[in-house]
Amino acid sequence: MNKLPLLLLLCFSPCAVGDGLPDLGDISQTVLTPLQERQIGQQSMLQIRASRQFLDDAEINDYLNQLGYRLVENSAEPGQSFEFFAINDYNINAFAMPGGFIGVNSGLLLTVQSESELAAVLSHEIAHVTQHHLARIIAGQQSDGLASMAALAIAILAARNNPQAAEAAIVSMQARTMQKRLDFTRTHEQEADRIGLDILQKSNFSIHAMPEFLNRLQRATQLLEGHAPSYLRTHPITGDRVADIENRVYKLPYRLVPDSLNFQLVRTKLIAAQKTAPDAIAYFNDALGAQKHGNPVAQRYGLVGALLRNNEVNRAAQELAVLRIQAKSYPLYRNSPMIETLAGQVKRAEKNDAAALAFYRTAVENFPQHRALIYDYADLLLQNSHAETASQLLTEQLVRHPSDVKLYDLQARAYAMQNKRLEQHHAQAYSYAWQGNLYAAIEQLELAKQAGGSFYQLSTLESDLRELREMLEARGKP
Ligand SMILES: [Zn+2]
């Protein structure tokens, strides 16, 4: 095992922030360092990950990161780390935490009518991050600990999301700062719109998507008689704001940008997740039969997934064969890791493990970055007692994804099968640490120590233990 990469981000040693953040008692400080912002975001992220709201679907999150990074490259801070993730919430919303953590509600993913609209929302959020909007509000707060600042970041977001919760948040915050926040809001939104539009344009998406999306939300609000979608509350829209955006884009030529297949497959997955398996089968059959709505490749992808869920393995395999032929007729769709992942699941359901293993060997070579495929392959390897091959695969993947809890869990299983107790508990410790469960992580490190190992291994454990205990101590502070 390598050194805990976690500690680079959550380092509480004196080199970084010491006991909480220095100088925060001084209200004149309005700027956090990039490291402080990252730490606050990371802390908030541990809480979000531990909550049921985090949408734990590697394919959806990988897609959001691919799209997000394409936009980040054209932002003011192309070198900054970002993390895009989905929230299981049907309210239409998206939000940005300090340090580049951007959440997108499933409701928003289902509401946007094109990938350009989604890109428009993400660009706006990226601009909030690169302009340090939330960070500036937090920096102005009197607060003496990282954890409390992270809690504050979450409280502000929750307050914007939910007016009832806002009252509670206001009570717990200084009225003066709250007022300051409200003054900020309008300027922030205009700035994020302007910079977001620039990012969107440079990234070759349709910039008309931004006013189209806002107008649609506003129309929805009128229908709901004032019950505004969360997005309009977190990013208040005034008539000026939409007019301002329209003025910027109307002179520019309209460009039609086709949606990527992954965009459509992600949406299909979310649509299916709202339905029971039989309902999903009926829905996608209907969509395909009458050719009424949507993209036929995406609809058939939904149908195969629903058939699998309903244990109709033979029909799933038949529809998958049709899906592959259909996908070939679209040049852009020829290589989709999401279709390969689904194909692997069909193969596994057919219970021919030898054929499935051969399939995964090729698929993983073709799509080494697609985590959902890796999880399934590693799991199948373990079921077939190929623990060493699994360990090797997982070690390579952990270099790419050092905070991936599922990879650590699979690695712990692989080590357990090889009777490597120290490594097993060490991997389990990282899994718990990334879930924010520091007590359980420390317990696993103690078990790893008891298992015994080389001098080097044991000293690595000692240093991880020391750092986790420091983190625990820092967290305990108000
Ligand atoms: Zn905004």
**Co-location of 156 and 181 in the same domain:** yes
CA 150 to CA 207: how far, in whole Å? 33
**Co-location of 225 and 331 in the same domain:** no
pLDDT of residue 3: 44
Task: Give the other-Cβ count within 10 Å of 35's Cβ.
Answer: 15
Task: Compute, in angstroms, the gap from residue 201 CA to the centroid of ligand 1.
Answer: 18
**Co-location of 420 and 298 in the same domain:** yes
Residue 21 falls within a domain, yes or no?
no
**Co-location of 231 and 357 in the same domain:** no
Task: Compute, in angstroms, the gap from residue 185 CA to the centroid of ligand 1.
Answer: 8
pLDDT at 146 over 70: no
Task: Compute, in angstroms, the gap from residue 224 CA to the centroid of ligand 1.
Answer: 21
Residue 288 falls within a domain, yes or no?
yes
Tens of pLDDT, residues 235-287 = 776 677 788 888 888 888 888 899 999 999 999 999 999 999 999 999 999 99
Task: Compute, in angstroms, the gap from residue 133 CA to the centroid of ligand 1.
Answer: 9
pLDDT of residue 47: 77
Residue 323 falls within a domain, yes or no?
yes
pLDDT of residue 179: 45
pLDDT of residue 225: 60
Domain boundary among the residues 226, 250, 274 is at: 250
**Co-location of 236 and 332 in the same domain:** no
Task: Compute, in angstroms, the gap from residue 333 CA to the centroid of ligand 1.
Answer: 33
Within 8 A by CB and 6+ apart from 395, the residues are 411
C-alpha distances out from residue 207 to 5, 219, 254, 314, Å: 38, 20, 8, 44
pLDDT of residue 329: 79
Residue 26 falls within a domain, yes or no?
no
Residue 395 falls within a domain, yes or no?
yes
**For 87, phi and psi rounded to 5 degrees?**
-115, 135
Domain boundary among the residues 195, 225, 250 is at: 250
Tens of pLDDT, residues 92-119 = 888 888 889 999 999 999 999 999 999 9
pLDDT at 142 over 60: no
**Co-location of 187 and 128 in the same domain:** yes
Task: Compute, in angstroms, the gap from residue 124 CA to the centroid of ligand 1.
Answer: 6
Task: Compute, in angstroms, the gap from residue 186 CA to the centroid of ligand 1.
Answer: 9
Tens of pLDDT, residues 302-338 = 999 999 999 999 999 999 999 999 888 776 666 789 9
Residue 255 falls within a domain, yes or no?
no
CA 55 to CA 51: how far, in whole Å? 9
Sorting pLDDT into bands at 50, 70 and 90, what band is 21? very low
Within 8 A by CB and 6+ apart from 331, the residues are none
Task: Compute, in angstroms, the gap from residue 230 CA to the centroid of ligand 1.
Answer: 11
Domain assignment of residue 388, given as a range: 261-476
Task: Compute, in angstroms, the gap from residue 101 CA to the centroid of ligand 1.
Answer: 14
Task: Compute, in angstroms, the gap from residue 126 CA to the centroid of ligand 1.
Answer: 10
Q: How many domains does the chain have?
A: 2
pLDDT at 14 over 60: no
CATH code for position 417: 1.25.40.10
**Co-location of 145 and 281 in the same domain:** no
**Co-location of 221 and 348 in the same domain:** no
Task: Compute, in angstroms, the gap from residue 131 CA to the centroid of ligand 1.
Answer: 11
Q: Which of 215-219, 227-231, 258-262, 421-425 has the least mean pLDDT?
A: 227-231
**Co-location of 217 and 289 in the same domain:** no
Within 8 A by CB and 6+ apart from 198, the residues are 74
pLDDT at 382 over 90: yes
Task: Compute, in angstroms, the gap from residue 189 CA to the centroid of ligand 1.
Answer: 5
Residue 233 falls within a domain, yes or no?
yes
**Co-location of 112 and 211 in the same domain:** yes
Q: Which of 1-10, 318-327, 395-404 has the least mean pLDDT?
A: 1-10
Residue 24 falls within a domain, yes or no?
no
C-alpha distances out from residue 409 to 56, 301, 430, Å: 14, 29, 9
Task: Compute, in angstroms, the gap from residue 237 CA to the centroid of ligand 1.
Answer: 9
First to last CA, the chain: 33
Task: Compute, in angstroms, the gap from residue 199 CA to the centroid of ligand 1.
Answer: 15
Task: Compute, in angstroms, the gap from residue 26 CA to the centroid of ligand 1.
Answer: 27
Token pair 């997955």 in the structure block, residue:
269
Task: Compute, in angstroms, the gap from residue 7 CA to the centroid of ligand 1.
Answer: 31
Task: Compute, in angstroms, the gap from residue 210 CA to the centroid of ligand 1.
Answer: 12
**Co-location of 276 and 416 in the same domain:** yes
* Cross-strand partners of 101: 83, 97
**Co-location of 181 and 275 in the same domain:** no
Domain boundary among the residues 224, 250, 276 is at: 250
Most confident of the ranges 27-41, 214-228, 364-378: 364-378
